[in-house]
Structure 1
Amino acid sequence: MAELFLGFTSGPGGFRKYVVIKRILPDVRDNAQFERMFLDEARITAAFNHPNIAQVFDLGQEDDGLYLAMEFIAGQNLNQITGACLRRHEQLPIGFTLSVARDVCMALHYAHTFIAPSGEPSPVIHRDVAQKNIMVTYDGVVKLLDFGIAKAKGSLERTSAGTVKGTTGYMSPEQVRGDKLDGRSDLFSVGVMMHELITGARLFAGKNERDEMVKILEAPIPWPSHVTPHVPEAVSKVVMQALERSREKRFANGRDMARAIESAAGHLLMDSDHRASMMKELFAERMAATRSLLESAEGTANSAMVDKAKRALRADDGPYLPERVDDSTPQGGVASVPRKQPRRGPAKGAGRQADVADTAKTEAKDSRLSNVLWGLFLLSILVGGAYGAWRLSQVLNATVEADPNPKELQKFDSKLPVFREPGMPEPDAGSAVAQVKVEPTPPVHEDKGPKTERPTEAPVRGKGKLTLVVTPDADVYRGKKKLGRTPMFNVTLPVGEHKLFIFGPDKKKRVLSVPIQPGKTEKLRLALKEIPEG
């Protein structure tokens, strides 16, 4: 219903504050309903003052219609964040999802229990909580957006009988039925969002809006811990309580749900610093584009930079979460009854019988072909296994001559890089490079024949990456240098075996050996107590 622009207000001494200008689209400016919704949004959110709700600064009218001046948020919404993870073939960290959901619940609790400046209770129901309306800034702050269709006491806009408003796949059952809503409707939407981000698939996706509404009312809901086994059962229980179709069985309010998330998640929760680190990793290019766009407002960026920034910001946000294909039979909660399979009645008409016969023939043909392929596959395994056993016996029976001059093993492998503990002096410049001492080989005969030397082994070159998650959070050192604080994502390291020093809340030094391979990412998720002290 609206279009957005980037704007700013300036003042003495170089003062500048960036805002978003929101205007009703030209083709609906004469629509009285849209205008009332626009005024509702301004009136409702202008009074809000919560860190997790986007603010409205001003409402005005120009020759071309009404406008809102809103908080400028440099960040990405949850659809864009999941799309970035899918492009990298990575799963959104569960700690990220849980922390975002916790902050959204607190923002909703503020809106649901809002007290007007006059002292009169003025609760606001959002009615459109979905990934598209939740942003995470590049600094890791969660923002709930778009109260454009919110239902507030005394709102100007009235919903007509027989109509529903919201994003269909995220509506509550009572919202689909057109019943009177309270804050627990928004909590159901948060449950849908959590389920999708945790399992990596849409929950109520359908062919059309009607199909999605029917699924919201009737379709079984699988437990997240059954779809994604690494999800703690306590977290899964919170999600399923939020998704109860009977609102009386859900959490009483957003604050209770936020506390339940904190209790179930424990050390998994990401704080704003961790979220900011992940956002910078995922959206480095878009962050640079945003900076260029802001510089253009100050007149310090050329047109080529601005055009490049606009292209980067308009890039495709996909891929999006896929539709869930396997409706696993849930356990308890709102979805304890498995999905009923459609009953197949007798075929009607000659055409239908012919179709069934053709299908049966095709299935039989496919079955015979499948049996032949499986037979060939098993035969190849037997032949390969027999050859492998024969070859192994030849190797084991071979005569092995002992080395006439065995050497003692060194106490350490000189090929591995050596790193010092925090606070210790740095090693020599060449000590971290793989070196092999050149030694003469023993004489071939008893006489003084020529001696040959082994060639110097070349150092291993190249770089790889390390993603390390340690719970609880810990500081990570490589030698004297601090690599950062966990969770760390895609930290570039030289190829080789690295000895890392881990310092958790207990201040004890723990030692972790990490192999880094060229061009690959080593991913580790450990509990602090699993890392040996050193």
Structure 2
Amino acid sequence: MAELFLGFTSGPGGFRKYVVIKRILPDVRDNEQFERMFLDEARITAAFNHPNIAQVFDLGQEDDGLYLAMEFIAGQNLNQITSACLRRKQQIPIGFTLSVARDVCMALHYAHTFTAPSGEPSPVIHRDVAQKNIMVTYDGVVKLLDFGIAKAKGSLERTSAGTVKGTTGYMSPEQVRGDKLDGRSDLFSVGVMMHELITGARLFAGKDERDEMVKILEAPVPWPSHVAPHVPEGVSKVVMQALERSREKRFANGRDMARAIEAVAGRLLMDSDHRAQLMRELFSERMAATRALLESAEGTANGAMVDKAKKALRGDDGPYLPERVDDSTPQNGVSAVPRKPARRAPATGRQPAVADTAKTKEPPSKLNNALWGLLLLAILAGGGYGAWRLAVVLNANVEPDPTEIRKLPTSAAPALPEFREATAAKRDGGTGVAEAETPASDASTQVVNADVETPLGPKEGRNRGGTKAERTSEPRVRGNGKLTLVVKAENVDVYEGDNKLGRTPMANKVLSAGTHTLHIVGSDGRRRPLEVKIRPNQTTRFVLEDLP
């Protein structure tokens, strides 16, 4: 219903403050309903003062109608962030989603329990919580936007009987039915948003708005941890409680939901610095375009720069989250209890790996049987999460490797650990035990789980006295090998120099034969070195239990 402009106010000594000017579109300026909604938004949000809610500074009227002066937010909304990740064929980090949802819940709690300056309780229900109305700034700050259809005490606009307001697909069941709303309705919408971002697919998508509303009331809701097995079970429980169709079973308020997210997220939760790092990776071009527009307001940018900036900011944000493929059917057309469908890989916008049809016709090899046996033992031991990570690798079209999988214990690590590839040597007719060599000058070198056993050269290994034997110089190796890398604690980015190789779990990454020094970057932003030795026509596998 409105159009936006970039504006600024200036003063003595070079003072300048940028704002967004929001005006009702010319073709609806005579619509009294839109005007009342516009005035409600100004009145409601002008009184708010919360770091996670976009501020309104001024309401005025010119010859061409009403306008709002609002906080200028340099950032992108969650739809745009999702699209950027899909274009890169990567998932939104779960820690990013959890931290954004936590901040949105706190912003909603502030609105739901708002008290006017006079001391009178004035609760505000947003009614339109969705990805499009949640922004993350380039500094990593979360902002809840657009209280234009918010339900508040003393609102000028009244919802007509038989109509609903909000974004279909994100409404609560009581909102769809037209029942009286409270803050728990917004928390249902947060649950929908969380489910979609961590599973990579729409939850209540339909062929039209009516179909989406029916699904909100009746369609079974799959557990996120069953659609995307990398999601911790505790996180899945929080999402499912928010998505309870009976509001009495949901969280009592936004603060309780925010605390529950913090409790189950643990180390996964991203702070603003880590969110800012992700935003810089995804939107470097748009950040430059925003700077160019701000410089144009100061008269320091030429016309060509401004036109290029506008084109970059108006670029297509697609692709968007795909519709979820639901293979479950509700009983008698209605299912009020979430049903758990069969496990399948998380939807990330990527094309699934295509199996070699010639190989699928062959009976499973002894190696595959042994690996699946290992997977089964891991499940029985209670390591369901780690077992899934291994299953990702085993199912990722990995070529048969005659080497035997071996594991080493993981030792404690200091602030700046150094990873080394584990090796194994057959000694005096022995079976060959996988070891990790620690440089004598650095007793704190991190030992990792290594899944490759490689015969050593004639001088490699250790002598009988227990001291290190001097290694022969390694001959130059030609050809390519493959690297498979899994980090059980979290998904991490893997770099070689400034070149990003991918994100874990990473299977069958082709690298030139020889020794490579990689860097692993976790959610804390630290770069950890990992030295790997790639051998021609072989697959080197690493399974890291945790990041120090």
Q: 1:250 to 1:88 in 2, by over 3 A?
A: same
State the Cα deviation string for residues 4-60 of structure 1 (Å, max 9, x = none): 000000111111110000000001101111101000000000000000000000000
Identical aligned residues as a percent: 79
Q: What residue number does 1:513 align with?
A: 531
Q: What residue number does 2:74 align with?
A: 74
Give the partner amino acid of 2:233. E
What secondary structure is seen at the aligned counterpart in 1 of 2:58? strand
Q: What residue number does 1:122 align with?
A: 122
Q: 1:7 to 1:120 in 2, by over 3 A?
A: same
Cα shift at 1:498: 1.6
State the Cα deviation string for residues 291-344 of structure 1 (Å, max 9, x = none): 0010000100010000000010000001000001124589xx9534589xxxxx
Give the partner amino acid of 2:231. V
* Mapping of residues 420-459 of structure 1, within 5 Å: none
State the Cα deviation string for residues 360-401 of structure 1 (Å, max 9, x = none): xxxxxxxxxxxxxxxx9699969xxxxxxxxxxxxxxxxxxx
1:497 aligned residue (512, 516, 520): 516
**2:337 counterpart of 1:335:** yes
Tell me how far apart the structure 2 counterparts of residues 466 and 297 of structure 1 sit (CA, whole Å).
Answer: 50
Tell me how far apart the structure 1 counterparts of residues 121 and 294 of structure 2 sit (CA, whole Å).
Answer: 40
**2:76 counterpart of 1:57:** no
Alignment length (residue pairs): 407
Q: Is the 8 A contact 2:93 2:491 kept in 1?
A: no
Q: What residue number does 1:173 align with?
A: 173
What secondary structure is seen at the aligned counterpart in 2 of 1:70? strand
Q: Is the 8 A contact 1:222 1:329 kept in 2?
A: no
Tell me how far apart the structure 2 counterparts of residues 118 and 380 of structure 1 sit (CA, whole Å).
Answer: 76
Tell me how far apart the structure 2 counterparts of residues 379 and 114 of structure 1 sit (CA, whole Å).
Answer: 61
Unpaired runs of at least 5, structure 1: 340-375, 383-417, 422-455
What secondary structure is seen at the aligned counterpart in 2 of 1:170? coil
State the Cα deviation string for residues 174-223 of structure 1 (Å, max 9, x = none): 00000000000000000000000011000000000000000000000000
Q: What residue number does 2:387 align with?
A: none
Q: Is the 8 A contact 2:223 2:339 kept in 1?
A: no
Q: What residue number does 2:93 align with?
A: 93
Give the partner amino acid of 1:119. G
Q: What residue number does 1:159 align with?
A: 159
Tell me how far apart the structure 2 counterparts of residues 377 and 459 of structure 1 sit (CA, whole Å).
Answer: 29
What secondary structure is seen at the aligned counterpart in 2 of 1:68? strand
Tell me how far apart the structure 1 counterparts of residues 34 and 529 of structure 2 sit (CA, whole Å).
Answer: 62
Q: What residue number does 1:108 align with?
A: 108
Cα shift at 1:161: 0.7
Q: What residue number does 1:200 align with?
A: 200
State the Cα deviation string for residues 123-158 of structure 1 (Å, max 9, x = none): 000000000000000000000000000000111111
Tell me how far apart the structure 2 counterparts of residues 55 and 61 of structure 1 sit (CA, whole Å).
Answer: 19
Q: What residue number does 1:279 align with?
A: 279
Q: 1:190 to 1:501 in 2, by over 3 A?
A: closer
Q: 1:515 to 1:50 in 2, by over 3 A?
A: farther
Q: What residue number does 1:306 align with?
A: 306
Give the partner amino acid of 2:272. S
Q: Is the 8 A contact 1:184 1:250 kept in 2?
A: yes
Q: Is the 8 A contact 1:104 1:142 kept in 2?
A: yes
Tell me how far apart the structure 2 counterparts of residues 524 and 377 of structure 1 sit (CA, whole Å).
Answer: 28
Cα shift at 1:501: 10
Q: 1:467 to 1:299 in 2, by over 3 A?
A: farther
Q: 1:338 to 1:100 in 2, by over 3 A?
A: closer
Cα shift at 1:93: 0.7
Q: Relative contact order (C-alpha < 8 Å, sep 6+): which is higher?
A: 2
Give the partner amino acid of 1:4. L
Tell me how far apart the structure 1 counterparts of residues 145 and 120 of structure 2 sit (CA, whole Å).
Answer: 24
Give the partner amino acid of 2:531. S
State the Cα deviation string for residues 240-265 of structure 1 (Å, max 9, x = none): 00000000000000000000001111
Give the partner amino acid of 2:4. L
Tell me how far apart the structure 1 counterparts of residues 523 and 65 of structure 2 sit (CA, whole Å).
Answer: 57
Q: 1:329 to 1:255 in 2, by over 3 A?
A: farther
Q: 1:458 to 1:266 in 2, by over 3 A?
A: closer
Tell me how far apart the structure 1 counterparts of residues 127 and 181 of structure 2 sit (CA, whole Å).
Answer: 9
Q: What residue number does 2:265 align with?
A: 265
Q: Is the 8 A contact 2:123 2:152 kept in 1?
A: yes
Tell me how far apart the structure 2 counterparts of residues 274 and 267 of structure 1 sit (CA, whole Å).
Answer: 12
Give the partner amino acid of 1:222. P
Cα shift at 1:497: 1.8
Cα shift at 1:503: 12
Give the partner amino acid of 1:513. E
* Mapping of residues 130-141 of structure 1, within 5 Å: 130-141=130-141
Structure 2 length normalisation: TM-score? 0.66
Tell me how far apart the structure 2 counterparts of residues 318 and 125 of structure 1 sit (CA, whole Å).
Answer: 30
What secondary structure is seen at the aligned counterpart in 2 of 1:119? coil
Q: 1:504 to 1:124 in 2, by over 3 A?
A: closer
Q: Is the 8 A contact 2:490 2:522 kept in 1?
A: no
Q: 1:110 to 1:227 in 2, by over 3 A?
A: same
Q: 1:338 to 1:93 in 2, by over 3 A?
A: closer
Tell me how far apart the structure 1 counterparts of residues 522 and 27 of structure 2 sit (CA, whole Å).
Answer: 60
Give the partner amino acid of 2:337. A
Give the partner amino acid of 2:516. E
* Mapping of residues 141-152 of structure 1, within 5 Å: 141-152=141-152
Tell me how far apart the structure 1 counterparts of residues 186 and 225 of structure 2 sit (CA, whole Å).
Answer: 23
Q: 1:327 to 1:49 in 2, by over 3 A?
A: farther
Q: What residue number does 1:211 align with?
A: 211
Q: 1:515 to 1:164 in 2, by over 3 A?
A: farther
What secondary structure is seen at the aligned counterpart in 2 of 1:42? helix
Cα shift at 1:230: 1.1
State the Cα deviation string for residues 403-440 of structure 1 (Å, max 9, x = none): xxxxxxxxxxxxxxx9x98xxxxxxxxxxxxxxxxxxx
What secondary structure is seen at the aligned counterpart in 1 of 2:169? helix
Q: 1:143 to 1:216 in 2, by over 3 A?
A: same
Q: What residue number does 2:191 align with?
A: 191
* Mapping of residues 206-245 of structure 1, within 5 Å: 206-245=206-245
Cα shift at 1:467: 11
Give the partner amino acid of 2:46. A
State the Cα deviation string for residues 478-534 of structure 1 (Å, max 9, x = none): 9xx999xxx99x9xx9995227699999x9x997435699xxxx99995546x6xxx
Cα shift at 1:227: 0.4
What secondary structure is seen at the aligned counterpart in 2 of 1:106? helix
Give the partner amino acid of 1:208. D
Unpaired runs of at least 5, structure 2: 342-356, 364-438, 443-474
Tell me how far apart the structure 1 counterparts of residues 273 and 6 of structure 2 sit (CA, whole Å).
Answer: 26
